[in-house]
Amino acid sequence: MSFQHAVVWLDQTEAHVIHFTRDDAETEVIKTTSQHKKAGVVSNNRAEEDTTYMDEVIAALTEAKQILVVGPGQEKLALMRHMTKAHADTADKVVSVETVDHPNDGELLTYARKYFVKSDLTH
């Protein structure tokens, strides 16, 4: 099925990608294989961004015509930096980057549908 819209919620460990229309949706979860981010470990060294993880997330978004990127922290901004540098065609499809805590997939889909209706971007 062809989907017009996609929303991706991501943090340092996983991304939830939902392609959707008004009436249907498909969800994919992508997990990072990186071991450099461990809970409770404080370090002054900035770990390199996991570009393999980001490339997998971006690959899951390429078919969408309009993309909403959301997440609780800085990972959504790191994704946008990488996307702008390495995947400009996909970056051009991003309509907004927003802070969203930790929704379940149903809440994420509802949020995205409301966003696109509010922004008059649904077709």
Tens digit of each residue's pLDDT (9 = 90 or more) over 102-113: 999 999 999 999
Q: Is residue 79 part of a domain?
A: yes
Q: Is residue 41 part of a domain?
A: no
The answer to whether the CB of 80 falls within 8 A of the CB of 94 is yes
Q: What is the pLDDT of residues 17-38, one digit of tens each?
A: 999 998 999 999 999 987 554 4
Q: Is residue 123 part of a domain?
A: no
Q: Is residue 21 part of a domain?
A: yes
Q: Is residue 77 part of a domain?
A: yes
The domain that holds 51 is classified in CATH as 3.30.420.60
Question: Average pLDDT, stretch 63-90?
Answer: 97
Q: What residue numbers bound the domain in which 98 lies?
A: 5-35+47-118
3 vs 90, more confident:
90
The answer to whether the CB of 6 falls within 8 A of the CB of 18 is yes
**Cα–Cα distance, 88 to 31 (Å, whole number):** 23
Confidence of residue 45 (pLDDT cuts 50, 70, 90): very low
Q: Is residue 80 part of a domain?
A: yes
Q: Is residue 29 part of a domain?
A: yes
Tally of domains within the chain: 1
Q: What pLDDT shows up at residue 120?
A: 67
Q: What pLDDT shows up at residue 103?
A: 97
Any residues with CB less than 8 A from the CB of 28 and at least 6 apart, and which?
16, 17, 18, 60
Q: Is residue 42 part of a domain?
A: no
